[in-house]
């Protein structure tokens, strides 16, 4: 079975749940970021879960929506320039000033990217026991920083020093030489999610 097909099925289920729970989110904006009470300390699935997806979407946003419903690239908030970003935080080849995508292109790119980022995290962790919430937090961290292979938090996690790994999230709050409040909030949310593991 193609693992990406399970991922896309999970995305469809998440969308249906999100629509069904829209009233809850309006009154409690952090509801989608709390780990389910039944989160098990068992091994992760190798795919980002709904809680991790909600965290990424909350902090990435799908910014710069135009009047025609499409989205345009915007400069990195830390540098004011490169890397240019579009949709749910996509960067890379072909994303430059003037790039415009449809909402479907934004969603498709996020799906592809998260399969790749989850694979990177799985490779970095090896066979280290990791709960789904820890995995989701690490995928969010890697999606934002690209640093899963070199981060001290990964080494601490692999050593079973979970409290130390959780504290490391707070060190990744700078971009373009500046401390950014958005990164502070994101790292706090990732650390909180990681701690539910």
Cis peptide bond N-terminal to 120, omega within 30: no
Could you say which of 19, 60, 105, 161 is catalytic?
A: 60
Angstrom distances, CA of residue 157 to CA of 80, 137, 147: 33, 12, 14
**14 in Cβ contact with 53 (< 8 Å):** yes
CA distance 121 to 37: 24
Annotated active-site residue 19? The verdict is no
**What is the Cα 37 distance to its own chain's centre?**
21
Active site members: 60
């Amino acid at each position: 079975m193609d693992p990406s097909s399970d991922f896309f099925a999970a995305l469809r289920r998440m969308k249906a749940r999100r629509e069904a729970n829209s009233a809850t989110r309006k009154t409690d904006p952090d509801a989608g970021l709390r780990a389910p009470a039944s989160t098990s300390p068992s091994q992760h699935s190798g795919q980002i879960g709904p809680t991790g997806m909600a965290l990424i979407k909350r902090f990435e946003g799908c910014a710069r929506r135009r009047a025609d419903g499409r989205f345009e690239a915007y400069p990195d908030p830390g540098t004011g320039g490169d890397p240019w970003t579009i949709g749910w935080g996509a960067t890379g080849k072909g994303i430059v000033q003037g790039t415009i995508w449809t909402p479907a292109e934004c969603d498709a790119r996020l799906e592809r990217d998260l399969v790749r980022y989850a694979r990177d995290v799985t490779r970095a962790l090896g066979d280290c026991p990791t709960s789904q919430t820890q995995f989701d937090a690490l995928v969010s961290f890697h999606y934002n920083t690209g640093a899963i292979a070199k981060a001290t938090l990964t080494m601490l996690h692999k050593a079973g020093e979970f409290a130390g790994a959780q504290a490391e999230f707070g060190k990744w709050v700078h971009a373009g030489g500046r401390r950014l409040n958005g990164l502070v909030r994101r790292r706090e949310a990732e650390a909180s999610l990681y701690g539910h593991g």
